[in-house]
């Protein structure tokens, strides 16, 4: 994830902070609530932004590691969300090197509005990193942005079928996929798809998967 991807968040950190704080975790991520682990588990919030989601997870009794590469957003988040069970780290995909040095595995990993910032060449390594940091029974929850990119923030198109195929190739399976949903900030040309990945119980079958407009591959939809 190149530094230019989050430089816009440094330049307008106050604006982004207040925008993200205007949304509620329990509403924005309602579909993910069923996948939350038992109280006391470890959670990793990658691209934690304003700290809204990290704070909500901490309030539910989790030990949260919040990763945010934008210095401006991270400073504002740390000033507002002061729970002792949130640990803030300046790190980024595809490697999350600083997170790896902690030597921990996580029961729940959240990437909210992050994947569109990951360059295509870094997406497979990013999935490999996330799989490495996940416990065998854990879940990775992602929100995937479908729509036009704003001119001031680097974003890359997301093909959901391609994403699921890449996840499968590293040993992750899609256990939940939502339909396209409207944007919480009411941006007309932006839609979101929510996905939950879990480790496969059997070795992945390597195969070429062509993008398709057909039925979703996940087991459940909303």
Does position 179 have pLDDT exceeding 50, yes or no?
A: yes
61 vs 187, residue with greater confidence: 61
Q: What is the rounded average pLDDT of the residues 111-128? A: 96
In which band, very low, low, confident or very high, does the pLDDT at 2 lie, cut at 50, 70 and 90?
low
pLDDT tens figures, 129-150: 999 999 999 999 999 999 877 7
Q: Taking residues 103-117, what's their average pLDDT?
A: 97
Q: What is the per-residue pLDDT across 151-171, written as a single tens digit (0 to 9) for each?
A: 777 899 999 999 999 999 999
Q: Confidence class of residue 217 from pLDDT cuts 50, 70 and 90?
A: very low
Share of the chain above pLDDT 70, in %: 85
Q: What is the pLDDT, as a whole number, of residue 4?
A: 55
Contacts by 14-22 with C-beta closer than 8 Å and gap 24+?
14/72, 14/76, 16/49, 16/50, 16/73, 17/49, 17/50, 17/73, 17/76, 17/77, 19/185, 20/49, 20/50, 20/52, 21/50, 21/52, 21/80
| pLDDT recorded at residue 203 | 59
When the pLDDT of each residue in the chain is averaged and rounded to a whole number, the result is 87
Higher-pLDDT residue of 200 and 18 is: 200
Residue 98 CA from chain centroid, whole number: 17
């Amino acid at each position: 994830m190149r530094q230019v991807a989050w430089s816009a968040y440094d330049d307008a950190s106050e604006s982004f902070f207040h925008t993200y704080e205007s949304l509620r975790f329990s509403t924005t991520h309602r579909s993910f609530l069923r996948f939350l682990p038992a109280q006391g588990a470890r959670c990793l919030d990658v691209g934690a932004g304003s700290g809204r989601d990290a704070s909500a997870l901490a309030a539910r009794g989790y030990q949260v590691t919040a990763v945010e590469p934008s210095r401006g957003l991270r400073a504002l988040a740390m000033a507002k969300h002061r729970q002792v069970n949130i640990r803030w780290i300046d790190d980024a995909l595809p490697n999350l090197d600083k997170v790896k040095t902690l030597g921990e595995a996580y029961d729940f990993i959240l990437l909210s509005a992050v994947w569109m910032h990951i360059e295509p060449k870094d997406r497979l390594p990013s999935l490999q990193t996330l799989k490495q940091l996940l416990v065998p029974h854990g879940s990775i929850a992602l929100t995937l942005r479908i729509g036009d990119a704003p001119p001031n923030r680097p974003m890359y198109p997301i093909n959901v079928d391609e994403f699921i195929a890449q996840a499968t190739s590293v040993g992750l399976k899609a256990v939940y996929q939502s339909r396209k949903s409207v944007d919480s900030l009411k941006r007309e040309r932006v839609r979101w798809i929510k996905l939950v990945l879990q480790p496969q119980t059997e070795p992945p079958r390597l195969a070429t998967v062509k993008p398709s407009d057909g039925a979703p591959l996940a087991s459940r939809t909303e």
